Structure formats: C-alpha cells, structure tokens
Amino acid sequence: MIKVAINGYGTIGKRVADAVAAQPDMEVIGVSKTSVSAEAYIAKERGYPLYIADLSKKPAFEKAGLEVAGDVDAMLKAADIVVDATPGGVGEKNRPIYEKLGKKAIFQGGEDHEVAGFSFNAHANYNEAAGKQFARVVSCNSTGLVRIIHAMDQAFGVARVRAVMVRRGADPDDIKRGPIDAIVLNPATIPSHHGPDVKTVLPQIDIVTLAMIVPTTFMHMHTIQMDLKKETTREEVLKVFEDHSRIGLVRKATGIKSNAELREYTQDLGRPRTDLWENGVFEESVSVLNGKEFYCFQAIHQEADVIPENIDCIRALMGTVKDPQESIRMTNKALGLVAIG
C-alpha cells in the first residue's frame, strides 16, 4: 500500500483524501490543517489522522474535541508521498521540507510550473513522471483544456487553439470572494495563464487563452475553437469524446444548457459532493465547420477535475503502475467515475 499524506485538507485536499482512501493500492496516513474548522470534524468523522502545522495550537484542537496526531513533520515522515493541497504559494515554501526529508510530492495548479519542474496530466504525459521526486497537477481549467486538446491532437492533429474561460467567481463555501454583480476581466491582458500552463504539458500546441470571472460558484465554462490538421466530421469528434474515459458528453436530450442544471444532474446522479470529475462537453455545441474548424462549449468543475489526476500522479511518481491506461482504469473504477453521456 502506498502511504499518502495530504498536506492541506481544504477544497482539493479533502477530495484527494477520499479518493486515496477509495483506491485498492493506497492509504491515507494523515491530513493536515492549521485551524479548527468544519473540515477538521470531517477528517475526524472519516477516520483520517489529523496533523497540524503549528503544535502550539494543539490545545485549541483538543478543546474542540479533535485529537491531534502530531505536527506536519511527523506526518511527512510517515508518508511515502505527499499531496500538497495547501493554498497557492504555500507549496513553494513547503518544497524545501520535502527535499530535506527526501519525500516525493505532488503540488497543485496554484503553484508555478517551476515548483516541480514537471507538470502532469494522466492521459498526456504519465510516463514522463517516472523517477521524478516532484510533479505539479495543472490547474482545473488547464486540466480540462489539456484533456480535450490532447484527445483531439491524437485523433486529428491540432494546428492551433483559441479558447475563452468564463471562470467561477468563488468556490461554493468561499464567502469572502466575488464578484457579486460584475464580469471581471481576469486578466484584462491576453493571454491568460491557461495557455502557457497547457504548454507545460503539451509544449507543441499553439494556444492563446482569454479569461474572465463571473458571479457563479458551480464550474467554469469554456468556449473552445481548434484548427485541425486533418479533415473530420462532427460524428468522428463525438466518437473520440465517447471513447475518452474523462471526457463526458452533456447530451442534447437532457436539456441541460447551464452549469446550474449540470450541477443538479451530478447531484441527482449521487456523485460525492456533486463532483463532475470529467470534462462536460455540451453535445449540441460540438461543431466542425469547413472540415477542419472545431468548436465546442465545455463545463469544468473546478473542485473536482484535478482529483483523479492527483491519484494517477501518485502511481506515476511512485512507479508502481507503469501503464497509464491501467492507472486511469483503476482510479476511475475506485471513484465510480463513468463519464456522463
């Protein structure tokens, strides 16, 4: 069993912990927090040993009825690998600690590519992780872009990509962020960070991205245009998506035309925390014009799509499963990830 520590038990960390616990070849040896909050009670309820960054806060946790297993250092020492899901920028500060302890670590998209020097996506570059100490799972939007661009590139060759990200303003629990009544260019300059981020995994792709944020919490929405190298048809493209285990199709027949209805759908499907782990490509939007111009809309659930990628990244760095497809199959099966559509 691979012993996994999750440093930072928040939006991403709590999902990674449950996903690790569901795998047949991994166990959660601990999760960490800095403060007493609702998530700490969830860790207790799940039976995950709770570690804290600063031991001087131990009495506050114990007063709240939360047993503290030790400090983060102790958790790291007990682990084979660490998933760092601390807020963006903290991972970079943690890196020297992992180096000193000789521990493998996975960082998240809030960190720069340079934190690990290697950015990961299971379908695109699993085998390149072999022998590395560090990897970074690219951000949620970048993961969604890499999945669809890589699939299209494999099938038809991608000459160039132009994409617009309509980003959610905040996660559902995040009461401090907005906007409440605005469309904010984020950034106003072009490109947004997503295009360069995609190139950390797919360096050959010509891509320019634009981004803005809007007052919603459930998912980002992408408009994507790709120029293809080979002529194709809408039917052939739909077949590529149907055959991809992490690209789902929001079928026309469902009538779903928004992030809100899609979230209701994942909730009704009984997905844990309503998570849409796969890309949600809107079937009706899939268009091929003039044989080589591809267009679509896709929804990306920011809290969820990077979770299966973190799990595959654990196996890829540990070197326990050599075949990417085998790891992807194991991860999907353990999560119950059967792409919608």
Ligand X SMILES: NC(=O)C1=CN([C@@H]2O[C@H](COP(=O)(O)OP(=O)(O)OC[C@H]3O[C@@H](n4cnc5c(N)ncnc54)[C@H](OP(=O)(O)O)[C@@H]3O)[C@@H](O)[C@H]2O)C=CC1
Bind-site residues for D-glyceraldehyde 3-phosphate: 139-141, 194-195
Among 27, 60, 64, 87, binds ligand X (CB under 6 A): 87
Q: Tell me the chain's radius of gyration from C-alpha atoms.
A: 20
Q: For ligand X, which stretch binds (CB under 6 A), given 80-88, 151-159, 185-193, 262-270?
A: 80-88
Neighbours of 252 (CB within 10 A): 12
Q: Rounded to whole angstroms, how far apart are CA atoms 238 and 174?
A: 36
Write the DSSP string, 85-134: -SSTTHHHHHHHHHHHHT-EEEE-TTS-GGGTS-EE-HHHHGGGGTT-SE
Q: Could you tell me the smallest distance in angstroms from the CB atom of residue 141 to ligand X?
A: 8
Question: Residue numbers of the site for ligand X15 (CB under 6 A)?
Answer: 109, 139-142, 167, 302
Catalytic residue among 4, 5, 140, 313: 140
Residues from 1 through 60 that contact ligand X (CB under 6 A): 7-13, 32-35, 37, 39, 53
Number of residues near ligand X (by CB under 6 A): 30
Beta bridge partners of 181: none
Q: Could you tell me the smallest distance in angstroms from the CB atom of residue 309 to ligand X15?
A: 12
Write the DSSP string, 307-328: HHHHHHHHHHHHTS---HHHHH
Pick one of ligand X15, ligand X, none as the site partner of residue 73 (Cβ within 5 to 8 A by kind).
none
Helix (H, G, I), strand (E, B) or coil at 306: helix
Pick one of ligand X, ligand X15, none as the site partner of residue 37 (Cβ within 5 to 8 A by kind).
ligand X
Decide: is 302 part of the binding site for ligand X (CB under 6 A).
yes
Pick one of ligand X15, ligand X, none as the site partner of residue 308 (Cβ within 5 to 8 A by kind).
none
Pick one of ligand X15, ligand X, none as the site partner of residue 19 (Cβ within 5 to 8 A by kind).
none
CB of 70 or CB of 157, closer to ligand X: 70
Beta bridge partners of 287: 295
Does residue 107 contact residue 61 with C-beta atoms inside 8 Å?
Answer: no
- The 3-state secondary structure of 251-301 reads CHHHCCCCHHHHHHHHHHCCCHHHCCCCEEEEHHHCEEECCCEEEEEEEEC
Neighbours of 215 (CB within 10 A): 14
Pick one of ligand X, ligand X15, none as the site partner of residue 315 (Cβ within 5 to 8 A by kind).
none
CB of 139 or CB of 332, closer to ligand X15: 139
Binding-site members for NAD(+) are: 11-12, 110, 168, 302
- Listed residue (98, 304, 20, 99) closest to 30, CA to CA: 20
In the chain, what is the greatest distance between 2 CA atoms, to the nearest angstrom? Answer: 67
Is 140 one of the annotated active-site residues of the chain?
Answer: yes
CB of 109 or CB of 248, closer to ligand X15: 109
CB of 85 or CB of 161, closer to ligand X: 85
Question: Which residues contact ligand X (rule: CB under 6 A)?
Answer: 7-13, 32-35, 37, 39, 53, 72, 85-88, 90, 108-111, 139-140, 171, 302-303, 306
The set of catalytic residues is: 140
